[in-house]
Each structure stands twice: as structure tokens, then as C-alpha cells.
Chain A
Amino acid sequence: MGSLQSSPSHQDYVDLAEKTGFSFEQISILHKRFKQLSHNEDKLRREHFGQITDLHANPIREQIVEAFFDKRNFYQEIEEPVSEISFENFLVVMSNFRPPSDNMSQEKLVKVRKEKLRFLFNMHDTDKDGTITLEEYRHVVEELLSYYEALETETARGIADAAMLEVASITRGHMEPDEFYEGITFEHFLKLLEGFDIESRMNIRFMNMDTTTLCKLECRNKVCSE
């Protein structure tokens, strides 16, 4: 591996590759990017994310950034709230977007699918209580629609409400009069998106070539607004 020019040792690379499934090239590219984002520090903080100009147009940037600081996505036990992440965490979060390989077994695919869905679910579930409540759902829909000024928040809410009703009718079927739907649990979430082939869609082709040089990282001094 001739690309081991930066700090992690070869052994680190092997470990990371094992853990995340990325190739060495991809890891080294991502590492470069990591350094670029963190200004050559070892840890990445929230304000670093705020400096990515391309991200500013993204309506759900908050959630995306938050996903990187969400300890549920690291697959390890951390007690205190995360304020900075290491390269390893960065990679682990990124690895949710790895395309499944062609010769994957059926069970493996199901697992990948579950992980990807879990990632989305965690993005919704901002208070981390294991259910997506209507308020959380509304929030996401509002953000998704916030780009379009033509829509008022009521509309977004109406959509979220309708979506929630749909969830209730899909997951519960007929409900008793006294019941109320308290929120989407992960099981319901799985059921809800049964037909959604996320395993073949939520993928990013991590390049083997370095394109970071093309990427502009202006606004270095700009402080993260959100």
C-alpha cells in the first residue's frame, strides 16, 4: 500500500478495513478528506461540518451532521454526548453507505438493509428514545420541504400527519377505539419500508481516485450557523 503517507499505520488500516469494509485506497482518500475537514487535527467537531459549503444547500444538513455525532451509529458504548469524532467513527458512519457486494448472501443483505434502515431511523429519532414520534416526523418533513418556500409549514404538517396515519394503518391494521399510535418503533419502521429496496439504493460509490482536490472548501472562517 503505497498510499500510507499519513498518520495511521498499516496495522490501523488493516483494522479499519476489516471493521468498515472499505478498501485501503478508499480509507486513505477518506482520511485525506477527514484531515482536510478537520484542518489536520485528529478529531472532527461540529463546526468543521459547518464549513462545507456544498452542505449548506442541504435541507437536512442538521440531521446529517448529527448522524456523525450519534453514538448509536458507532456501534460502541459511549456514555457522554459526543462532541468530537475520530477518523474511525467517521469511517464507521460512512460505511453505512457502502454498496453491498455482488456475491452477498441473502442473510447478509438483510443485515445490510437493516443497518441502513437503522441509520435512517436514527436520523429521524432525534430524542433517541427508540420511537419516531409525530413531532419528530413532522420536523423532518418540514425540513425536507423547507427548501420550497411555496409551502407553508401547515402543508408539511399535513403531509406528516397523513404519513403517520398511513404508518398506523400499515403497522397496526385495525385499531381499537382507545388505542392511539404513540410513534414508529424500529420494527414498524422496517415493516413500513418493506417495499423500499434501500439496500440497492442507499449507496455511494466511494471513489478509488482522489477527487478532494476538486472540492472547494471555501468559507474556512465561516462559523457553523446551525
Chain B
Amino acid sequence: QRRAGGRALGVDLFVIFCVFLSLLYGSRAEVPSKPTASVTILPPIKPDNGPQPYPEEEKSNLPVFTMNYPRIQIPFEITLWMLLASFAKIGFHVYPKITFWVPESCLLVSIGLIVGGIMYSVNEKPPAVLTSNVFFLYMLPPIVLDSVFSLYVQVLWFAVVGTLWNSIGIGMSLFAICQIEAFGVQDINLQENLLFATIISAVDPVAVLSVFEDVSVNEQLYIVVFGECLFNDAVTVVLYSMFSFVTEMPVVEPVDMFLGVATFLVVGLGGMGFGILFGFVAAFTTRFTSKVQEIEPLFIFMYSYLAYLVAELFAISSIMAIVCCALTMKYYVEENVSQRSCTTIRHVVKMLSAISETLIFFFLGVVTITTEHEWNWGYILFTLLFAFIWRGLGILVLTQIINPFRTIPFNTKDQFGMAYGGLRGAISFALAFTLPDNIARKHLFVTATIVIILFTVFLQGISIRPLIEFINVRRTNRKTDTINIEIHTRLMEHTMAGIEDLCGQWSHYYWKDKFMKFNNRILRRILLRDNRAESSIVALYKKLELQNAIEILDTASGDISAAPSIISLQEEKKNSTKPKKKFLAADLKNMHDILSKNMYKIRERTVSYTSKHALPNDNQRREILIRRHSSIRRSLRPGSFQTRIMPKSQKYFSLPPGESLNSRFPPTRQSFAGDPHAQETMSEVAYPARRSRFGNRSSSGAMMPLHRLGTLKEVSSVDFLNESERGSTGRGSQFRPQSLRRHLSADDNNGLADEMRIRQVEEEEEEEEERPQASQPPAWAAEPRDETPRNPLLRRPQWNEKK
């Protein structure tokens, strides 16, 4: 079977390769006309030929069929190029092992090299898409925006100081090398060297990060490299613009150096200021966009882009502006906009940045082959050498400086990981390629940059995973995303903050606390529609619940039927005298009961906790129900579930499907037993609670936007049940009035109506299932007994007494 799978994969690969090749040829056919954008040579290609031979006819008759290729040429070709690059990406993922060992950038560059080779063999020029303007105005912003949206607190140190260090170190060393006559590069002056050094010091550790993530290196190292990844792009671009300004000046006076530093500050801080300003405006705007959800994401993009453009207008750091803008608004916007908009934003940003980066790497390959190179052994090799040395030295020195300030200092292995992670990437290439033409040795610079990128991406990129694993860098287990760990992290943080207060010493926990206080008191009030603070524990809880729900969906048939299968087996033992067919019907009933209970919960969870907004949930909710129903249907096929015994649900952290916190109350369970309508009764009991809670929570903000589904409701509703049950046993009845409070807003009605509809559907289905076996005693009476093994905690006998 495995071999067959492999063969199928191979066939897939082949098909994709064919598509890829045909596309490649397709694009090649179009490429001749590419230079028309810049060079205005119209090569004889068919579309242009079309109208020419029949000019008179066209005049006299109404044209039935015309082609106007030049009109669509540029967007058409861009689209084709993007498609080509995207197909390449698909191709890589056919074999996951390739991307495991070889970074994606390597593969992209390789494809680019192949395409470039083909283009070179037929004497085509590379497309003129990658110009300075295109790069800076269209391709860079998404890349930066993406890195901001997918990242949290950074460590600026390595990014800013490290990049400065590298640029200046490499620049100076190269300038020294240039003085050696043997290399014949004396004409490169200091400024140009510095400019070039800046370009190649833009480290792009995306590939490294994915490796780090896979082997889960320790958090500190990861964060540092992450921060570096983001900010040194920014720093590099700032430095680049500064140096390219300096290189245009005929004479450089010492004053200019100071002015340069001042410019650097103004450019950087100005960008930051603009960014934060736009960020707050954007956050404030999204407070009011709830009625126009379809354009919500647009606000985010437009504000970010506006910040970028305005910063560009004033020639301050546009990267800084967009970074700060996104960072500022991210937190607030994610709570303001609907779940769906949030997903859209992430998807679009991801998509844009992925395509930008793919294209850049792709072009890198193409350009490597097709462009004119100026090869200077000395200069290029020394560049390579210096890039290594200064990176290593920089890491060494900077960690020495920073270590005394760290609780856990970086050790040698960490340093090695950081130093070795210095891959050069897309930004470097784009900056080099868009160098102004008045730099005499531009070709040499481009060549050297390409060499460095190829060298680092291929050699280091491929070898870093084995190396990291070999030297055994400190790791952290970041996969354990459990509630307990979250709770204890929080507990620990609070404890530490408390101890620090006790000692009268402050560190970042203190400032974190202070900022959170300020944030909760003032900022959230202004910027958020619903400004109630939310704890990260709840957020995590929601996230896990969402995962849970998704997993249930994904593994619907396997998993859902897993729970009933146990029951069915036990039933089999007990009622073995019964005819087989009936028995199956009983199973169906069992399953259905369990399922409908689950569904009820899922829906209910969905309703309550996250309901920032009733609207976006509805469809999702409905979808889940529909999908679950279909999955029931699938698993209802007789016998289909009996083979699956393993309770996969064990892995769910809290409430595996088919289980519920309800089961901790055997008394009520027993009262349900024998009552065919018990389930309805139960949901009716729960219903007011649901409604009331729905009202209460309808505006609670969600910190993690993805967790709209996430669902504290289940538990709380169960709690309500508990309370009511406890009330019936004479305990906890004081909770009832509270939960019965009703706050019904328009939203709620909306949601309620929807819920009603779903309930109806569900009940209809239930009836449908019930009919065949009306005479059957309710099979799920056995259920509590069978369920409890999996959450015995809840059966603790002294439960009530302890409370």
C-alpha cells in the first residue's frame, strides 16, 4: 500500500512537473515581449502579428475577433510569473522530505536557476518586473507586514547593533582590501563599500527559523533570531537609504558622519512615530467597523500601507513605520474585528508576503544566469570571508555585552546557532539588484551579493539542521500547549512579580505589569469596542477548545464513533440475546445520543463565550453542525463503528467527544434514565441558561481572534447544570437566579433565532433516528457508566461535600 502511495506521489510529481514545464514554456513564449516595457522592441509574436496583415479589413468591417496583447502584456506576464513561482511551491510540498532537509528558498533559487538557464539559452532578458520602485512600493510592505503580524516582542539589540556592526565592519574591511592593487578594484570608494556591506548584512533567518521551530530550540535563542529577522530588514533598509544618499555626495566631510547619525535617528524615530500614530488611528477606526465587516480587512491594509507611503513621502523609514503601525494596531484590531476578518487579514498578508518572497528568490535564480556578471575573485571571496568573520565576531561581542543583563546568559552553542543562522536572503538581493545605475561597480556588487546568498542559503541552509541537532543546542518543549502549563506560567509570573515587589527590585515583569495596567485602564477603553480585559488563560482555553472542535471535525468519522464503540461492545455483552439487527439499532441510538449531546455542546460553546458578534459565528456554527451531521450519517452505517475500539478521544485535553462534565452527576443522570425525553428536558433546562449567558457574554472580547469557536460555554453551561442539579440536592441554588439573568440585545436575538433553527434541525434528525426503535429502552442509560472511566476525577464521591 505504501509503495502504491509512493507511486501515486511520483505520478503526482510528474504531472506537476509537466504542468510546470508547459507553463514554463508558455511563459517563455511570452517573455520576448517583456522588454517592451522598458526597451520598446516589439518582437514578432503572434498576438502582435494578428492584426497587422489585415489592416484594411479591420477598417471596413466590425472586428469579430481581435487581440490586443500589448494592452494586457505587463499584468499578464506578472500573473504568469507568479503562477510559475506558485506552482514551484506546490511542487516542493509534494515531497515533504525535500522541504524538511532543504530550505524552500534553496529550491526556489534552483527553479529560478533552471528557468534562467532556459531563458539564457534562447537569449531572453529577465523580466523587468523587479525595479526599485516595484520592490519598495509593492513587494517589501507585505513581507514586513507579515513578519510583524506573525510575531511578538523582539529583541532589538542584535538587529540594530548587529546590523550596524556588520555593515561597518565589512565595509571597512572591504575598503582595506580594495587598496590592494592586485585585485584591481581600487576605484571602489569607502561609501560604496559601506553601501555594499549594508546590503549583504541583511540577514534573513526565515529558513533558519523554520529549522529552529522544528527542532524547538530554546525560547531565548528563537526570540532573538526572530527579532533579528524582522528588524534588521528595517535597519538595513534605513542604512541603505542613508548610504546611498551619502554615495551620491561628491565629498564626504566629517560633519556628514554626524549628520548621517542624526539622519539615522530621525529616519528611524520618525518612522516609529508615524507608525504608532497610524496604528492607533487604525485601531480606533476598527472600533466602528462592525457594521461593514466586508471591508474591515481593507482598513488594516490601507492604514498600514498609508503609514508606509507617508513615511516614504517624508523619506523616513517606511519599514519602521509599517512595523510600528502593525505592531500597535495588531493587539487592538484583533479584538475589534470579527473572527472572519481577522482570518482574512492573516491570509491575505501571508499570501502577499509569500508571493513576494517567492518571486524574489525566483528572480534571484533567473538573474544569476541571465544578468551580466563582473567576477572578481579577490573581492568576492573576501566579501564572503568578511561576512562570516564579522557575523561571528559580532555575535560573540554582542552576546558578551548582553549576557550580564540576561537572567539566562547565552552559551557558546547558542552563539554558534545565531552566528550560523546568518543566511542572507531576499532583501539583500532585492537591494543589490535595485542599486542605482550610477554606481560604477554595480555588476560586481550584484554578483558578490548573489554569491553570498547562494553560498549561505545553500550551504548553511542545508547544513544547519543537522548541525543544530548535532551540537545539541538547548531546547525547549514548546509543543506542550496545555492549560496546566499556561496556568502555571501565569502563576509563576505573578509570583515573580510579587517577589520582585517584595525585594523592591524591578525587572521586565514589573514593566510588563505597569504597561498592562496602563493598557487596561486607558488604551483599551479608547480603542476597543468592548474593553474588558481578558486573561491569557482564557485565551488559551479558547484556543484549545477550538483545536478540539477542529480535530473533532477532521477526524469526525473515526473519532466520534470511537466513543460509542465501547458502549456497543459492552452492550453486546449484556444484551447478547438480542437479535443482531436490533442491537445495531441500539448502537445507533447510543451514538446518536452521544453525538447530539456533543453537538449541542459545540454549538453552545460557540454561542456564548466568544460571541463578540453573533453574525460571523452563525455560519461557522451551522457548518460544524452540518458537517457533524454528515459525519454521523457516515458512521451510522451499521457495523461501521464496531471495529474502532481505541478511544482516540483520550488525547483531548478536556472534554473528549462523547464525554461531558455532566457525567459527574450521577443522580440526575439516573433520573434521566428511563425517560425517553430526558434529553430534551435537559436541553430545555439548559436553554435559559444558555440564553442568559449568551446575553452576558455577547460582547466579551477575544484576545486570540482565531478562537471565535472556542468555547468556554460548554463548561459554564455544564456548570449551570451542576448548579441546578446541586440546587435539586439542596446546594448551590443561589446560582440559579444569577444565571437566569437575561440580557437580550438584538445580536442575541439574532443568534438565538439561528440557534433555534439549528436545534430544530437537530431535533428533526433525532426524531428520524428515534423512530426505528421506539420500543428500545434508552440505551444511553448505560452511558454514564461507560463514560466515566475517562474522567474519573469527576466522579469523586465527596464532590459535593467538599464544596
Residues of chain A touching chain B, judged by Cβ–Cβ distance below 8 Å, are 29-30, 33, 36-37, 49, 52, 54-55, 57-61, 63-64, 67, 94, 97, 99, 102, 120, 123, 133-135, 140-141, 144-145, 147-152, 154-155, 157-159, 161-170, 172-182, 192-198, 200-207, 211-212, 214-215
Distance between B706 CB and nearest chain A CB, rounded to angstroms: 18
Are A144 and B535 interface neighbours, CB within 8 A? yes
B580 within 8 Å of A by Cβ?
no
Among B286-294, B474-482, B596-604, the stretch that binds chain A is B474-482
Are B484 and A163 interface neighbours, CB within 8 A? yes
Name the residue of chain A whose CB is nearest to the CB of B656: A169
Are A140 and B483 interface neighbours, CB within 8 A? no
Name the residue of chain B whose CB is nearest to the CB of A64: B498
With the chains together, A74 CA to B479 CA distance in Å?
Answer: 34
Give the chain A neighbours of B477 by CB distance below 8 A. Answer: 194-197
Give the chain B neighbours of A29 by CB distance below 8 A. Answer: 503
Distance between A140 CB and nearest chain B CB, rounded to angstroms: 7
Distance between A173 CB and nearest chain B CB, rounded to angstroms: 8
Are B488 and A94 interface neighbours, CB within 8 A? no
Are A193 and B535 interface neighbours, CB within 8 A? no
B645 within 8 Å of A by Cβ?
no
Contact of A159 (CB < 8 Å), options: B491, B534, B537, B794: B537
Name the residue of chain A whose CB is nearest to the CB of B405: A205
Contact of A196 (CB < 8 Å), options: B409, B488, B655: B488
Q: Which of B446-465 contact A (CB under 8 A)?
A: none
Are A176 and B789 interface neighbours, CB within 8 A? yes
Are B495 and A64 interface neighbours, CB within 8 A? yes
Residues of chain B touching chain A, judged by Cβ–Cβ distance below 8 Å, are 218-219, 407-409, 411, 476-477, 479-480, 482-485, 487-492, 494-507, 510, 513, 517, 532-535, 537-538, 541, 647, 650, 653-655, 661, 696, 700, 712, 714-716, 718-720, 735, 785-786, 788-797, 802-803
Most chain A CB within a 10 A radius of its CB, from B485, B498, B534: B498
With the chains together, A73 CA to B270 CA distance in Å?
Answer: 52
Are B802 and A181 interface neighbours, CB within 8 A? no
Are A150 and B796 interface neighbours, CB within 8 A? no
Are B480 and A158 interface neighbours, CB within 8 A? no
With the chains together, A205 CA to B517 CA distance in Å?
Answer: 23
Give the chain B neighbours of A194 by CB distance below 8 A. Answer: 477, 480
With the chains together, A222 CA to B503 CA distance in Å?
Answer: 19
A-B contact count (CB 8 A): 231
With the chains together, A151 CA to B715 CA distance in Å?
Answer: 13
Are B490 and A148 interface neighbours, CB within 8 A? no
Contact of B484 (CB < 8 Å), options: A134, A192, A215: A192
With the chains together, A57 CA to B661 CA distance in Å?
Answer: 33
Distance between A6 CB and nearest chain B CB, rounded to angstroms: 16
Are A166 and B653 interface neighbours, CB within 8 A? yes
Contact of A97 (CB < 8 Å), options: B487, B496, B535: B496
Are A175 and B792 interface neighbours, CB within 8 A? yes
Are A165 and B490 interface neighbours, CB within 8 A? no
Most chain A CB within a 10 A radius of its CB, from B503, B537, B715: B503
With the chains together, A195 CA to B502 CA distance in Å?
Answer: 29
Known: A174-B650, A182-B796, A196-B485. A123 touches B491 (CB 8 A): yes
Distance between A60 CB and nearest chain B CB, rounded to angstroms: 5
Are A94 and B796 interface neighbours, CB within 8 A? no
Instruction: Beyond the given A61-B498, A163-B482, A195-B480, please list 12 additional residue pairs across the A-B interface where CB-CB is below 8 A.
Output: A37-B502, A135-B802, A135-B803, A158-B661, A159-B541, A173-B650, A177-B786, A182-B796, A196-B488, A198-B488, A198-B492, A204-B505
Give the chain A neighbours of B219 by CB distance below 8 A. Answer: 197
Contact of A205 (CB < 8 Å), options: B407, B504, B700, B789: B407
Distance between A152 CB and nearest chain B CB, rounded to angstroms: 7
Contact of B491 (CB < 8 Å), options: A140, A178, A195: A140
With the chains together, A87 CA to B489 CA distance in Å?
Answer: 28
Name the residue of chain A whose CB is nearest to the CB of B483: A163
Distance between A200 CB and nearest chain B CB, rounded to angstroms: 5
Known: A161-B661, A198-B492. A154 touches B535 (CB 8 A): no
Are B537 and A145 interface neighbours, CB within 8 A? yes
Q: List 5 A-B contacts (CB under 8 A).
A: A158-B661, A161-B654, A179-B792, A193-B485, A201-B489
Give the chain B neighbours of A141 by CB distance below 8 A. Answer: 487, 537
Give the chain B neighbours of A161 by CB distance below 8 A. Answer: 654, 661, 715, 794
Distance between A56 CB and nearest chain B CB, rounded to angstroms: 9
Which 10 residue pairs of A and B lie closest in terms of their CB atoms, listed nearest first?
Answer: A158-B715, A195-B477, A195-B480, A181-B793, A162-B654, A215-B504, A150-B532, A54-B501, A64-B498, A212-B504
Are A180 and B537 interface neighbours, CB within 8 A? no
Distance between A47 CB and nearest chain B CB, rounded to angstroms: 14
Are A206 and B661 interface neighbours, CB within 8 A? no
Distance between A72 CB and nearest chain B CB, rounded to angstroms: 15
Are B505 and A206 interface neighbours, CB within 8 A? yes
With the chains together, A97 CA to B533 CA distance in Å?
Answer: 29
